[in-house]
Amino acid sequence: MNTPRPRHFALLTILTVSAIVLFGRSVLLPQARAQGNDPRVLFVHDNGNNRYIKNLGGGKWAEYRNGQLNRTFKEVNRTNDYIEIYTEMPQPTTTRLYNKGVKWMTVGDRDWRQGDTGGWKDVSFIP
């Protein structure tokens, strides 16, 4: 029976710890940002109809058109690239808010649909 040499064991330990650290950074850092001071709280569409999506806090988001509440969303994921929100109304829809636009998907879709262009604005920008 061969037993691992101490040198091999040390190398295996270093590789294992490195993998755990890298995995933890990729999974935990986006969540830490979500709980910190993420400036992404207002997404404004570029389509000119005074449409925006605002973070209400507590994982809740709301879409407004011409200042009137249109529908509400629940935040389901957050990364450095996008914030993902979900609504049941008017049909189950998942939306991703990116720096320069929106992608969305409904039940039965295989791929993300390209939505409006837009971007993150300071909350004082609300039309």
pLDDT given for residue 37 in this prediction: 83
Q: Is the pTM of this model over 0.75?
A: no
Number of structural domains, the chain?
Answer: 2
Q: Which residues contact 45 (CB under 8 A, 6 or more apart)?
A: 51, 52, 102, 116, 117, 118
pLDDT given for residue 14 in this prediction: 44
One domain, residues 29 and 52: no
pLDDT given for residue 18 in this prediction: 44
* Domain that residue 10 falls in: 1-37
Q: What is the mean pLDDT of each run of 10 residues along the chain (127 residues)?
A: 55 43 43 66 88 96 95 97 96 97 96 95 81
One domain, residues 67 and 6: no
pLDDT given for residue 24 in this prediction: 42
Task: Determine the Cα–Cα distance for residues 95 and 75; give it in Å rounded to an integer.
Answer: 9
One domain, residues 49 and 104: yes
One domain, residues 32 and 57: no
One domain, residues 10 and 60: no
One domain, residues 47 and 99: yes
One domain, residues 74 and 23: no
DSSP 91: S
One domain, residues 73 and 107: yes
